Structure formats: structure tokens, C-alpha cells
Amino acid sequence: MDQKTALNILKTGRNVFLTGAPGSGKTYVLNKYIDYLKSKKIPTAKTASTGAASVFLGGQTIHSFCGLKTKETLTAWDLEAILEKEYLYKKIHKTKVLIIDEVSMISSSLLDSVDLVLKAVKGNSKPFGGVQIVLSGDFFQLPPVVKGGGDFSFAFEALSWKNADIRTCYLSTQHRQKNDKLYEILSEMRSGNLQESTKLELKSRVGVKPKEGNTTFLFTHNSDVDRYNKEKLMNLKGRVVKLKAKTEGSKKHAQFLLKNILAPEELTLKVGALVMFVKNDPEGRYVNGSLGEIVGFSGNLPRVKLQNGRELLAETVSWSYEEDGKIKAQVHQVPLRLAWAITVHKSQGMTLDSVYADLSKVFVEGQGYVALSRAKSLDRLYLAGLTDKAFLMHKKVLDFDIQAKKESDKWNKIINNFSKAKLQTLHEEFAGKTASGVKLATDEKTLSLLKEGLTVEEIAEKRGITLSTVLSHLEKNTDKLVFENLLSLQSLLSGDDYNKIKKVAESLSWEKLSPLKAKLPRYSYDQIKFARILYFIRPVPK
């Protein structure tokens, strides 16, 4: 599928899995769609599986967006706590499109938790609460990280994925290796049919020393990277220049940026240092992954000579943390890092001019593939070590990829048979339905059913949402409720129970439920929340 067709499918509002080999243009399509959504004023959440990937996208991690902290699975109490946080509720409630980048590192349990949170907040039993979900990434790359090791399951194995009627857009045009031999090798790896002759070709690169002076060494472990870069810098003579990042805005969000941008908080440089740009230049002078050498300084700003011979001044740029289209924090730093070595993990998403990789310690399927696919061509790929595990691709991914290509071919034919007029209509229908200012009924539906005489339990069942979500809708509309009617339309709480909870709450506070629950262990969170709703309805009972 080409990029234009994928963009046309995205604009219809369908749930989409955007994939393709490294260099096929996934990020380009994603950014084009984000620009389109912004132009149509459609509330969009830009997230990713990792902090670094989310910063590159200009968003936040999926854990942060959903209020999951470090959790992958949710208990009823966890969900209750998320719904209690007003800022989370408001942010999620108004989201119409959710983008999750680097989806290969999202586990099935995490994706199912995202689905649960969206359904609860939206009060909508449709997959992902009726939000358009856009999943982008390549499952041949790094898989989910499991704490303490052990088995993992991919996002495509999640029940929420299977229920979401996802359209696969498999981008087929290659913009990185093009017709180079390396592209053929990577294609064989993706097919699970790596020939012995191909393995030998890769093994022939082991021990070949880089011809270019500016070559990035890829290690599988952080300790090796730090050691190598430190040694290289210390071996250079000349004055040391230290560039300290500056921050503004929310301290919490600024710290998140500092932790996840690839430029260090304090960048230490010398003339002769090998460096890498870690951001795309709007003027196109460099891209994320461009290599160069420090050849001097103008004041404290470094002058970098790129591999193409061009020399430029590396000026300070900004990284922003955005929520709801507003900048919460910014970090200002020169977009460079020492580049004698980086980890395979951090290289994901980059195109490197020249790669020198040690793949003798590969410990998971996909790690070798990520390292190899960073290079532009085979003659710019150098291997310090290689193990057969570097060739391995996960069996589940190989099987899924076959189906993904078939699905993509199907939707490619369907969408390309649509007339321009039909496509335009579909795009306008989605944009008109989801733009800011168009309120989709959620709590209003709950109130209307209440007026029809349904109990709160019946409303939850009829709408396919949790009782806690129904109560959240009621709590937002206490000015429209009558105490006596509401008390009769439930079996959660008797009048005596209400008075007992009320007595304790008036001695503490109604603000948070947890302290009340500790004092009233025989009552559930839903019962205490319902009592709070009753308390703030006027008139209160005599």
C-alpha cells in the first residue's frame, strides 16, 4: 500500500494498524495525519510505548495518558482511582483519536487495559470507547519488555485488537535501503526464509573495519555504550565544552522530557568528537540519526561537519511536552549526543549513515533485525560480532505478518475502488462528527435513561458500562437530579446506610473515597460514591 492510500483510510475514522518495514514511511504518514487532525480541530492524543518514542512524536507515553503508572493490568480499584482523577477524566473524555506509536512494545494486557479505561471514561461499550485507535509500528522490531523476564504476548493477541475491526495499512515503498543487497537480506528475515548464502554474506561483514571515520557502534547493553563513549572522549585532546539543557514550564513534565530526549541534560564535547543529531531539522539540513564530527565552536555552539562534507552550526532547539494542544513544558538543548556508540534499543526509528554493530550478545528476537535495518546499505554495515540468534524472528510475528499483508491488500483494493466523491464524503463525515465543539452524548444518555425510570444497575447493563461509570455521569450532573427519585432508583444503598456513611464523611471529608473506605470497610467504593452523589443533591433528606 502506498502512503496516500493509507492516509485516505485514516481520514475515514476507521481503526488502523499502520505498519511496514523500516524506512517505508510510517512516521511520515503518521505526522501527515496528525497535521490533518489538527487542521480539522479533532482532539487527538499522541502517545507511544516508550518515553523516547513519545517525545519524538510530541506526545506522552500510553501509560501516562491512561493514568496506568507502571501497570499493565487493572483491578476494579485501579479503574476507580483513574475515574476519580478529574484531570485524567477530562483529558480522556474529550479525545476522539488515540495514536499509539511503536506498538511492537505494547503487550496484549496493556492494550486491553487501554480499551477498558476508554470504555469506562467514555461510557461507551464500543471498542476503545468509540475512539479512533491508530496503532503504528513494526512487530519485527523490539517486543514488549517483561519485568523479571518471562513470556510476553503481543498487542495483536489482545482481545481488544480482535474486537476493534482494525484496518491494516502495510506500507510497501522502501525509502531507506532501496535496491541495496541489505534490503534483500532484511526482506528474507521478514519472510522467515533466510538462506544460508545470505547468512554467509552477513557473516562476511564480521571483522571488516569501517572505512568511514564517522561510524556509530551499536551495543545491546547500556553499560557498553557508556564505557565506549567515555573512553573515546577522554582520548581526545583540547578544551572541554559543556552545554547544559534549559527547561521551562511544569517541572514534572520537563523532567519527563529530560529523561526521554536523546540529547543529554549536560552535553560534553571536544573538537574531534563523533556526534549524532537526535532531531529532524525543519530546514532539512540534518535528520534524526545524521552523523558528524565536531570541527570547532562558535562561542559554545558546536560546528559539525556532516558525512556529506557540509559544515553547519548546531544551534539550540526545543522539545515540547503537549497535552490538549497546549505546551506544558519545554527543554532547550543542542540536538546532539556522542555517537561513537548507542544501544540497539535507542537506535530504533533512526537511519544511520554508517553502522558498526556487536550482535554477539543479542538476547531477544528482533534485536538483530533492528540493528541491521538502521544501516543505509550493506557496504556501510560493519559487524564486530554475530550470533545466530541475531537472525531469529518470532514465529508469532512471522505468522501475523502474512495475514497483515493479506488484510492490507484487501483494503488497498477496496479503498482504491472508491470514487473521489465517496472518499471526500467519508472524510467529511468523520471530521464533522469528531471536531471540537460537537458533543457526543455520554452522560446525557445516562440521564435520559434515568428519567425513563431505569435503575442505575439497569442503566449500566443496558449501556454496557460499569456501575462506577454510571455513577460518575450522575456525579457530574447533581444539579439535574432529585434526591428522593434517585434513592428509589437503585438497590445499592438504604436510607440508613446513607446516613451512616454521611456521618463519617462529615467528620472527615467527601473529597477522597479511599479514607472513607478505610473507615467504612463494609461498604464498597460504589456505595460510598453513591452516598456522595446523594449528599450534594438538593434538597437533602430531613
The 3-class SS string of 273-286 reads CEEEECCCCCCCCC
In angstroms, the CA 280 to CA 351 distance is: 11
Instruction: Look at residues 327, 359, 331, 313 and name the one whose alpha carbon lies nearest to residue 265.
Output: 331
- pLDDT given for residue 150 in this prediction: 58
- pLDDT given for residue 439 in this prediction: 45
Alpha carbon distance, N-terminus to C-terminus of the chain: 68
- pLDDT given for residue 302 in this prediction: 94
- pLDDT given for residue 540 in this prediction: 47
Question: Cell 538502521 identifies what position?
Answer: 374
Distances (CA, A) of 363 to 224, 284, 386: 15, 36, 12
Residue 489 clears pLDDT 80, i.e. is over it: no
State pLDDT tens for residues 22-71: 778 888 899 999 999 998 889 999 998 877 677 777 778 898 888 887 77
Residue with more model confidence, 512 or 103? 103
- pLDDT given for residue 441 in this prediction: 55
Residue with more model confidence, 299 or 485? 299
- pLDDT given for residue 436 in this prediction: 59
- pLDDT given for residue 541 in this prediction: 44
∠ Cα 171 175 180 (to 5°): 115
With H, G, I as helix, E, B as strand and everything else as coil, classify residue 456. helix
The continuous run of DSSP H or E covering 370 comes out as: helix 367-372
- pLDDT given for residue 129 in this prediction: 93
Q: What is the mean pLDDT of residues 146-158?
A: 77
- pLDDT given for residue 402 in this prediction: 94
Q: Among the listed ranges 138-152, 288-302, 332-346, 465-479, which one has the minimum average pLDDT value?
A: 138-152
In angstroms, the CA 291 to CA 212 distance is: 11
- pLDDT given for residue 420 in this prediction: 86
Residue with more model confidence, 291 or 113? 113
Q: What is the mean pLDDT of residues 154-165?
A: 95
Give 132-192 as a DSSP string. EEEEE--TTS-----TTS----BGGGSHHHHHS-PEEEEE---SSSTTSHHHHHHHHHHHT
* Burial group, residue 59, by CB count within 10 angstroms (0-12, 13-18, 19+): buried
- pLDDT given for residue 351 in this prediction: 76
CB 169 within 8 A of CB 8: no
> Cell digits for 9?
483510510
Residue 539 pLDDT class (50, 70, 90 cuts): low
- pLDDT given for residue 136 in this prediction: 95
% of the chain beyond a pLDDT of 70: 94
* Burial group, residue 214, by CB count within 10 angstroms (0-12, 13-18, 19+): buried
Q: What is the mean pLDDT of residues 113-133?
A: 92
Q: What is the mean pLDDT of residues 316-322?
A: 87
Residue with more model confidence, 179 or 222? 222
With H, G, I as helix, E, B as strand and everything else as coil, classify residue 356. strand
- pLDDT given for residue 37 in this prediction: 92
Residue 542 clears pLDDT 50, i.e. is over it: no
Residue 534 pLDDT class (50, 70, 90 cuts): confident
State pLDDT tens for residues 381-395: 899 888 888 888 889
- Whole-structure pTM value: 0.69
- Chain length of the chain: 542
State pLDDT tens for residues 229-265: 989 999 999 899 999 999 999 888 888 888 878 788 9
State pLDDT tens for residues 361-413: 777 788 888 888 888 888 888 998 888 888 888 899 999 999 999 999 999 99
% of the chain beyond a pLDDT of 90: 30
CB 20 within 8 A of CB 32: no
Rounded to the nearest angstrom, the gap between the alpha carbon of residue 324 and the centroid of all alpha carbons in its chain is 16
CB 400 within 8 A of CB 156: yes
- pLDDT given for residue 146 in this prediction: 65
Residue 326 clears pLDDT 90, i.e. is over it: no
Q: Which residues contact 332 (CB under 8 A, 6 or more apart)?
A: 245, 246, 247, 248, 316, 317, 318
